[in-house]
Amino acid sequence: MYFLAHNVAKKHNIGTMARCCTAFGVKSLVLIGSRQFNTFGSHGADGHVHFEHFDSLEEAREKLKGERGCTQILGVEIVDDARAIESHPFTGNTAFIMGNEGHGMTEAQKAICDGFVYIPQYGPGTASLNVSVAASIVMHHFASWAGYEERSREGEKFIVAERPQRTRKRGEVGESPEQVRARRAAARALDKEQETRGEDAIADADI
């Protein structure tokens, strides 16, 4: 299971989503656009979450459906053809994307989705849920459907793993090895191009 965060207005929601991700076994919390995020609300849980970053929605879809092996990307939105989350309309490894707290999903976000799910409500007091609350419900349903192994408990709480050594700046997603290689290759190509232009300019001057 993967979770995509894009166009989330209230940045502290990312920290709360990170806490939910580690509780429900999300493989990666994927940030699209900005590499920076607010860890407020994570209560240190962000140290146990694997973060990924993509520059665009299209790149995220390509990587998730390809290298990451996702069979579907589901938008969490109340649209006409959305299916209730408790019906578990999953076909395998799934990525979910949430809309903006105020305006819902954009057309660009909807365009990368293979389908949609929504969370039924039964009381009259609110039109929608907080994005991190909604995310936690979706994550729990998928984890239950997928048969994730329940975490061991001690007393009245679940056992927290030893926090892994931090390999990135807190509140920022670093580049992946493949992104580093691509950036270095682009830099080498640019250097080569500039070198060639310089040699051509010298040759023209000698004529």
Query: Residue ranges of the domains in the chain?
Result: 2-158, 175-207
User: What would the two tokens of residue 87 be?
Assistant: 């019906």
| Integer Cα distance of 144 and 26 in angstroms | 12
pLDDT tens, residue by residue, 26-79:
999 998 887 666 665 555 666 678 888 898 999 999 999 999 999 999 999 999
pLDDT tens, residue by residue, 90-142:
999 999 998 877 788 999 999 999 999 999 999 999 988 888 899 999 999 99
Q: Is 155 left (phi over 0), alpha (psi -120 to 50) or beta?
A: left
Q: For residue 6, what pLDDT is reported?
A: 85
What's the whole-model pTM score? 0.76
6/110: higher pLDDT:
110
The pLDDT of residue 83 is above 80 = yes
pLDDT tens, residue by residue, 138-196:
999 999 999 999 999 999 999 888 776 555 555 566 555 565 566 577 777 777 777 77
Question: DSSP letters along the chain, please?
Answer: -EEEE-S-SSTHHHHHHHHHHHHTT-SEEEEES-SB---TTSTTGGGGS-EEEESSHHHHHHHHHTTT--SEEEEE---TT-EEGGG----SSEEEEE-BTTTB--HHHHHT-SEEEE----SSS-SS--HHHHHHHHHHHHHHHHTPPPPPEETTEEPPPPPPPP-S-TTBPPPPHHHHHHHHHHHHHHHHHHHHHHHHHHHHHH-
Residue range 2-158 forms a domain whose CATH class is alpha beta
The pLDDT of residue 201 is above 90 = no
